[in-house]
Amino acid sequence: MNTETEPAFFETNAAPGVVGQPLSRVDGRAKVTGQAKYSAEYNHLPGLAHAVFKTSDVAKGRITGFDASAAQRVPGVLAILTHQNLPQPAVSPNTPEGKKTIGMGVQMGFLPLTSDQIHYAAQPVAMVVADTLEHAQHAAALLRVQVAPEAPTASYQDAKAQRFDPSKGKGAGEGRGNAAAAFASAPIQLSGTYTHALNHHNPMEPGATTAHWEAPDRLLVYDTAQGMAWMQKSLSKMLGLPADQVRVITKYLGGGFGCKGSTWPHTILTVLAAKAVGRPVKLALTRPQMFTGMGHREDQEQTLRLGATKDGKLLALLHEKTSTTSPWDDYAETNAKIIGMLYQCPAFEAKLQLARANVMTSTYMRAPGEAPGSFALESAMDDLAYRVGVDPIQIRLLNHADKDPSTGKPWSSKSLKQCYQRGAELFGWSQRNAQNGQTRDGKLLVGWGMATASYPVHSGQGNARVRLYADGHAVAQAAATDLGTGTYTVMTQVAADALGLTPDKVRFELGDTVLPTTIISGGSMAAGTVSSSVYLAAQDAWQKLIKVAVMDAKSPLFRAKPADVEVVQGRLQLKATPGKGEDFAALMKRAGLDDVEGMATGRYGAGYESAQAALNAKSDDAGKDDAGQHSMHSFGAHFCEVKVDPELGTVRVTKWVSVIAGGRILNPKTARSQIMGGAIMGIGAALMEQTVRDQNLARYTNASLADYHIPVNADVPDMTVEFIDEHDPYINAMGVKGIGEVSIVGTAAAVGNAIFHATGRRLRSLPITPDKVLDALRQPA
Amino acid sequence: MNNFSYTQATTAKEATRQRKDEPTAAYIAGGTTLLDLMKANLEEHAQLIDINLLPFKGVEQTKDGLRIGAMERMNDVGEHALVRELFPAVSESLLLAASPQLRNMASIGGNILQRTRCGYFRDAAFPCNKRVPGSGCPALQGDNHNLAILGTSEACIATAYPGDLAVALTAFDAVLTLENPKGKQRRVPVTEFYLLPGTTPQRETVLEPGELIVAVTLPLTAHARRSTYLKVRERASYAYALASAAVGLDVQSGTIRAARVALGGVGTRPWRSPEAEKVLTGAPATEATFRAAAAAALQGAQPREHNRYKVELAQNTLVRALQQVAG
Ligand SMILES: Cc1cc2nc3c(=O)[nH]c(=O)nc-3n(C[C@H](O)[C@H](O)[C@H](O)COP(=O)(O)OP(=O)(O)OC[C@H]3O[C@@H](n4cnc5c(N)ncnc54)[C@H](O)[C@@H]3O)c2cc1C
Ligand code: SF4
């Protein structure tokens, strides 16, 4: 497109614009009536066979053989695939080089069924493919696996675990100043060790793959992918095929929270199984397999030391994290980032230690790093507030970072102070009793807590296409996915506004790699990237029509300069004399154009800002703006009330307020759901979510939704969610920041801080279950 | 899951005969326990005999007390006016259990025969003495946070019955009517129905092969009318009890005439506490009495690494429940 006409900042084009309106989900009806097809529901493929995994009982060992005699006798069994007979991938992630070739789409540097080694409990060791799911399941139950077991390592808490510093001394974050010295001489010194239980994403829809080889070298996969292009690339690399020979489709996704961001073993193994049996094959992970199939948030321990002046100004932050990783990968969430950037603090240092254990590789889960990191930091800030004797909001204002302390850059926009203020108003924070342990409701102890939220704007880019028909309909497309968050809906709104149409005239298509490539729906990048590419694609379509108009002798705009023409609600007109112009439909009809197509690349974050800067730069400062001049983040504040039963140890959240500044809010209804969802997930992490691993056998003891507790309705109070109106011209063409992850950041600390206010006890180990509350209450306050 | 056949029975005789013909068959009521176990390959049955059409229905007053048919659904019984009035604790134990969907499916008989939530039992990859006798009990040194502290053995520390209803039934001297394949009925008090694990944790009840639960009968008493069921869990709903208490008191002018106490979530079976009842009976209805009763109830507790908290929690739960009924 003609970049010179790229508008620096989105202005809604329709009056009244539908962007910013609480449009109900455009796919809502399809979902509640069962019309929406999820990835495990493509049963139309001829000869579709079903695969199930046989998984390992032990967490470590070697496969010495299989007894498939009984399994093979089950009618309908097509193949029993193991490392001995499965066709192997062209490139496997098992070596660092292989993993590098495959790229970001594969998180785990180990593919089961490629050797006789067992590295973690419930690792797939065989696949049974049969004509029906029931036959496959039955045969898998009958398949016997002979194993020579070895003693496994369970976690970082296991004395056997090999510990190492993956940075080799370089530290885990951008350090500054001499934090150790600053801490040592600080008048106030606080230190705390925080543990975070192992958590699982547990989206409602399990991971599922249906693999169909349309030709010997052409693959179609229906999968549960948050990132279409990542999966396409990783599969094509592993199979040694050009990317265009691999098509991935994900029309609907039942949640992901990060676990569907990578191509996990079941996908490539199903693809290989389909090759082996020469039929389309479907595999859906069972709920127990979801605990060992698509990663998790690692179990971790953080020690945070905080030094401050007598009146509470931060002087030093020292952070250390230890967490469990797999035998091959060095993955850990980067907790240090938020600790280094959230408050003004001259000295900061972070260290990371990993411990190898017999677990699969952990992965990013909603606000990876920021969620557990903020638990430590925001609990410590609360301690500081009490220590100094000021209000928790006051201590945060006192340490407010006017610039990003980790980079020194100004913020592209930051409305955190407004979030505190509005949140306090909505919550009634001014009524707070400054003393903890003072408020009662009958036998219950009542406490209020708050915490800051922040999540970075990652840099992303992606393409979109818009096709406008002369009859006033339009289709917009991008290979994004909708996790259930409302992507279909908000992109329909963006396209409608950009084209001056009502949303019922616009359809947004996503979830297919044949569509224009875009960013993964993860890292809170989708709304910002896709909205801006859709918007710009519409502008591209208008530019094409403007060219047609100025060359058309019958158009009122004949021989006008394209730059002098604007489009308002579908009418092409002269900027100077808006009376002179015509409707797009009239123009297209006369020109014999049934449709016109626009295509554009949208950029989000630093990539947008630097491109804009390059465009507007004078020749002498060109190239200076590579990484963007601003630090870009969403911010927010969470407030909650808890009631603690001091005799029974139970904690219930009874009131919740979240105020978020996330740039332009495309749709307050779907955005509110995002914030509520994040906050509820945070309440889960704070009070109940934990996957328990047996420390001797290194196997989970609660891999089911009956035993792994997530909040139910009764755990969730009425929630108040508000957004601060924020205009950010540096983020992208739309002024949109991500909100999917900022929603959870700080939530566990808000709950913990409220518990502290209620009881006078600081609980630093998540989840805060009744046993821990009773334990704490037995100690002196 | 294995292949199985499915048949329906309309009378007890039909059901027990089908069961005799196929020894690995199981009765299926709501299926909410059975199917979970079969899907996880923890139980295998060649045949399922559907007993939902059996006439074990009704909630009615008889000369022995309130009789509840084994095929009644948890929700229906929990909401039944007579149950609410005569046995508040029983009603509450039902309505605080599981989820509405499960309670609409699940039967009273099936509830009594639900099985432990011990994570090792529920995953066939683990050793477990209850599932595979002699294979060992990893819970002793492992994840035992939701397991028992009373009535345990070196072979098993599971709360074999993890649910709620049977705790209330245990407190209020319920009697089960059972019918064997010969058509003979017998009556077994709930307190004698569940077995301690001892060296044979695989044996959980006195139910004989093929025997059906026909009904539960609860004698009418003053202390049962003044009763409650208190359930403690970290999630506000849809979770098993970390600890629970079913209590009933007959208090006259401040003195406890009769008391019934049973605990859930802490015993290898629903835990009746004669020790606590002894402390309560004849004593003033005060917090001091309740504390003493709670201490007596937990006297023999044998906690382990992760369930130590239950000693205090169970006592506090019991005290709170007693306070609630004492008013
Ligand atoms: C997620 C979840 C949460 C739960 N939470 C709770 C809770 O909080 N509290 C609680 O108390 N329970 C809870 N339960 C257990 C639930 O109450 C039981 O699963 C249910 O009561 C079983 O009844 P059913 O009719 O479905 O039994 P089925 O599954 O049909 O049968 C269970 C067993 O009993 C046998 N059986 C059934 N009826 C008879 C009979 N009349 N005579 C002889 N044998 C019979 C069957 O053969 C089978 O072995 C929960 C269950 C689930 C799945
Ligand atoms: S406690 Fe009982 S049920 Fe649990 S593992 Fe041990 S023997 Fe099995």
**pLDDT reported for residue A613:** 72
* Cβ of residue B194 lying under 6 Å from some atom of ligand 1: no
Rounded mean pLDDT, B299-308? 97
Mean pLDDT of chain A: 95
**pLDDT reported for residue A610:** 80
Q: Domains of chain A, with CATH numbers?
A: 3-10+460-603 (3.30.365.10), 403-457+631-778 (3.30.365.10)
- Given B15, B37, B53, the domain boundary residue is B53
Tens digit of pLDDT for each residue in B267-288?
Answer: 999 999 999 999 999 999 999 9
Nearest C-alpha of chain A: how many angstroms from B120? 6
Tens digit of pLDDT for each residue in A285-312?
Answer: 999 999 999 999 999 999 999 999 999 9
Give residues with Cβ within 8 angstroms of A9, minimum separation 6: A727, A729, A733, A735
* Cβ of residue A706 lying under 6 Å from some atom of ligand 1: yes
Measured between alpha carbons, how far is B83 from B73 in angstroms, rounded to an integer?
Answer: 13
**What spacing in Å lies between the alpha carbon of B33 and ligand 1's midpoint?**
4
Cβ neighbours of B2 in A, within 8 Å? 138, 141
Is a pLDDT exceeding 70 seen at residue A444? yes
Residue B315 pLDDT grade (very low, low, confident, very high; cuts 50, 70, 90)? very high
| B309·A771 Cβ contact <8 A | yes
The answer to whether A505 and A495 are in contact (CB under 8 A) is no
* Cβ of residue B108 lying under 6 Å from some atom of ligand 1: no
Query: In chain B, which residues touch A (CB < 8 A)?
Result: 1-3, 40-41, 117, 119-120, 122-126, 138, 141-143, 145, 232-239, 242, 306, 308-309, 312-313, 316-317, 319-320
Element (H, E) at B17: helix B12-21
**pLDDT reported for residue A276:** 98
**What spacing in Å lies between the alpha carbon of B106 and ligand 1's midpoint?**
6
**pLDDT reported for residue B229:** 98
Cβ neighbours of B320 in A, within 8 Å? 647-648
**What spacing in Å lies between the alpha carbon of B126 and ligand 2's midpoint?**
10
Residue of B3 and B87 predicted with greater confidence: B87
Q: What is the DSSP string of A339-361?
A: HHHSB--SEEEEEEEEEE-SSPP
- Given B32, B53, B74, the domain boundary residue is B53
Tell me if B316 is assigned to some domain. Answer: yes
**CATH number, domain with residue B41:** 3.30.43.10
Is a pLDDT exceeding 80 seen at residue A8? no
- Compare CB distances from A697 to B126, B234, B235 and report the shortest one's residue: B126
Cβ neighbours of A703 in B, within 8 Å? 123
Which ligand is the nearest neighbour of the Cα of B132? 2
> Is A471 in the B-facing interface, judged by CB distances under 8 Å?
no
The answer to whether A436 and A759 are in contact (CB under 8 A) is yes
Nearest C-alpha of chain B: how many angstroms from A648? 6
Measured between alpha carbons, how far is B80 from A34 in angstroms, rounded to an integer?
Answer: 35
Tens digit of pLDDT for each residue in A667-689?
Answer: 999 999 999 999 999 999 999 99
- Given B37, B53, B69, the domain boundary residue is B53
Give every strand in the sheet of B26-28, ordered side by side. B5-8, B47-50, B26-28
- Compare CB distances from A648 to B1, B141, B320 and report the shortest one's residue: B320
Rounded mean pLDDT, A213-235? 97
Q: For residue B21, what are the domain limits? A: 1-53
The answer to whether A362 and A330 are in contact (CB under 8 A) is no
**What spacing in Å lies between the alpha carbon of A254 and ligand 1's midpoint?**
29
How many CB pairs below 8 Å do chains A and B form together?
Answer: 105
Measured between alpha carbons, how far is A537 from A515 in angstroms, rounded to an integer?
Answer: 13
| A688·B317 Cβ contact <8 A | no
Is a pLDDT exceeding 60 seen at residue A251? yes
* Cβ of residue A553 lying under 6 Å from some atom of ligand 1: no
**CATH number, domain with residue B264:** 3.30.390.50
Atom of ligand 1 nearest to the CA of B239: 8
Is a pLDDT exceeding 70 seen at residue A618? no
Three-class SS string for A297-331?
A: ECCEEEEEEEEECCCCCEEEEEEEEEEEECCCCCC
Shortest CA distance from A650: residue in chain B: B234
Rounded mean pLDDT, B295-320? 98
Cβ neighbours of B323 in A, within 8 Å? none
> Is A707 in the B-facing interface, judged by CB distances under 8 Å?
yes
Is a pLDDT exceeding 80 seen at residue A469? yes
Is a pLDDT exceeding 70 seen at residue A622? no
Tell me if B132 is assigned to some domain. Answer: no
Is a pLDDT exceeding 90 seen at residue A759? yes
Is A741 labeled as catalytic in the residue annotation?
yes
Which ligand is the nearest neighbour of the Cα of B31? 1
Q: Whose CA is nearest to atom 11 of ligand 1?
A: B163
* Lowest model confidence (mean pLDDT) among A14-18, A111-115, B72-76, B150-154: A14-18
Tens digit of pLDDT for each residue in B202-260?
Answer: 999 999 999 999 999 999 999 999 999 999 999 999 999 999 999 999 999 999 999 99
From residue A698, alpha-carbon distances to A61, A259, B134, B248 in Å are 12, 21, 21, 44
**pLDDT reported for residue A548:** 97
Tens digit of pLDDT for each residue in B188-214?
Answer: 999 999 999 999 999 999 999 999 999
Tell me if B264 is assigned to some domain. Answer: yes
Tens digit of pLDDT for each residue in A182-219?
Answer: 999 999 999 999 999 999 999 999 999 999 999 999 99
The answer to whether A282 and A49 are in contact (CB under 8 A) is yes
Cβ neighbours of A56 in B, within 8 Å? 125
Give residues with Cβ within 8 angstroms of A336, minimum separation 6: A172, A173, A319, A321, A350, A352, A369, A373
State which amino acid sits at residue A490.
Answer: V
* Cβ of residue B224 lying under 6 Å from some atom of ligand 1: no
> Is A652 in the B-facing interface, judged by CB distances under 8 Å?
yes
**pLDDT reported for residue A612:** 77
**What spacing in Å lies between the alpha carbon of B130 and ligand 2's midpoint?**
6
Residue A620 pLDDT grade (very low, low, confident, very high; cuts 50, 70, 90)? low
**pLDDT reported for residue A734:** 87
Specify the DSSP class assigned to residue A235: H
Is a pLDDT exceeding 80 seen at residue A709? yes
**Which listed residue (A349, A370, A609, A741) is catalytic?**
A741
From residue A648, alpha-carbon distances to A441, A645, A652, B172, B320 in Å are 15, 5, 12, 24, 9
Tell me if B131 is assigned to some domain. Answer: no
In a mutational test of the B interface, the residue from A694, A712, A769, A775 whose CB has the highest number of chain B CBs within 10 Å is A694
Q: How many CB atoms lie within 10 A of CB A734?
A: 30
Residue A171 pLDDT grade (very low, low, confident, very high; cuts 50, 70, 90)? confident
- The answer, yes or no, to whether the previous bond of A767 is cis (omega within 30 of 0) is yes
Nearest C-alpha neighbor of A293 from the set A268, A273, A276: A268
Domain total in chain B:
2
Mean pLDDT of chain B: 97
Tell me if B93 is assigned to some domain. Answer: no
Q: Whose CA is nearest to atom 1 of ligand 1?
A: A706
In a mutational test of the B interface, the residue from A133, A652, A701, A715 whose CB has the highest number of chain B CBs within 10 Å is A701
**What spacing in Å lies between the alpha carbon of B107 and ligand 1's midpoint?**
7
Tens digit of pLDDT for each residue in A500-535?
Answer: 999 999 999 999 999 999 999 999 999 999 999 999
Shortest CA distance from A699: residue in chain B: B126
The A residues from 280 to 299 touching B (CB cutoff 8 Å) are 288
| B236·A714 Cβ contact <8 A | yes
- Compare CB distances from A694 to B142, B237, B319 and report the shortest one's residue: B142
**What spacing in Å lies between the alpha carbon of B29 and ligand 1's midpoint?**
8
Tell me if B69 is assigned to some domain. Answer: no
